[in-house]
Amino acid sequence: MASIFLLKIMTNIDIVRKVQNEFLQAGRPDLRTGMEVEVYQIIKENGKERIQRFKGIIIKTAGKNELESTITVRRKVGAFGVEKVFAVHSSTIEKIEVLRQFKVRRKSIKFIRDLTGKAARLKEVKMSKDELNAEKALPTVSYPEAKAAPKAESQVEAPAENTNNEEK
């Protein structure tokens, strides 16, 4: 009688992704370098909550996976440049709104820090706000189907070797 065991194979990566999926925030657009964004961040002060807006251009994107992804947003305030790094899936970020998309061919455009005036201009890519703010699909983790355990093969005994010295 062969009994069948069901095996559910989950690798370490699948376990990590399953835990991370619980912390991913829905409603985040696909963010890229060169986008002008407005980040609405929840600030807690003295037991009160308020929403602070930060409008600027994404000059750098980083992160190996969805949960670790960060953006660096830069804006000009008077004669100074102000940069903030935001974790995209942080619970303190209420929403991220994409305003415009500029043509950029690099992952990091930190060189724009040194440029002023006309040299700091970027060419705008015309897109509708709906296309820019399209919600990025959250990654889904698919688990392998339950498989039947291989049947135990009947053991075939090899003929016992004769230990007696037989005459040849």
CATH code of 85's domain: 2.30.30.790
Which CB contacts under 8 angstroms, 24+ apart, belong to 51-58?
51/94, 54/84, 54/86, 55/99, 56/82, 56/83, 56/84, 57/102, 57/112, 57/122, 58/31, 58/32, 58/33, 58/34
- The total number of structural domains in the chain stands at 1
Residue 39 lies in a domain: yes
pLDDT for residue 155: 56
Residue 41 lies in a domain: yes
Neighbours of 99 (CB within 10 A): 14
pLDDT for residue 156: 55
- Dist CA 27 CA 116 (whole Å): 34
- Dist CA 27 CA 134 (whole Å): 8
Residue 116 lies in a domain: yes
Residue 29 lies in a domain: no
Which residue in the block uniquely carries the two structure tokens 């370490």? 12
Whether the model clears a pTM of 0.85, i.e. scores above it, the answer is no
Residue 61 lies in a domain: yes
- DSSP reduced 3-state for 128: coil
> What is the domain range of residue 80?
35-127
Residue 167 lies in a domain: no
Neighbours of 88 (CB within 10 A): 21
* Mean pLDDT for back-to-back runs of 10 residues, the chain (168 residues): 55 80 79 91 92 93 84 89 90 90 86 83 82 69 53 55 56
Residue 145 lies in a domain: no
pLDDT for residue 17: 79
pLDDT for residue 145: 53
Residue 90 lies in a domain: yes
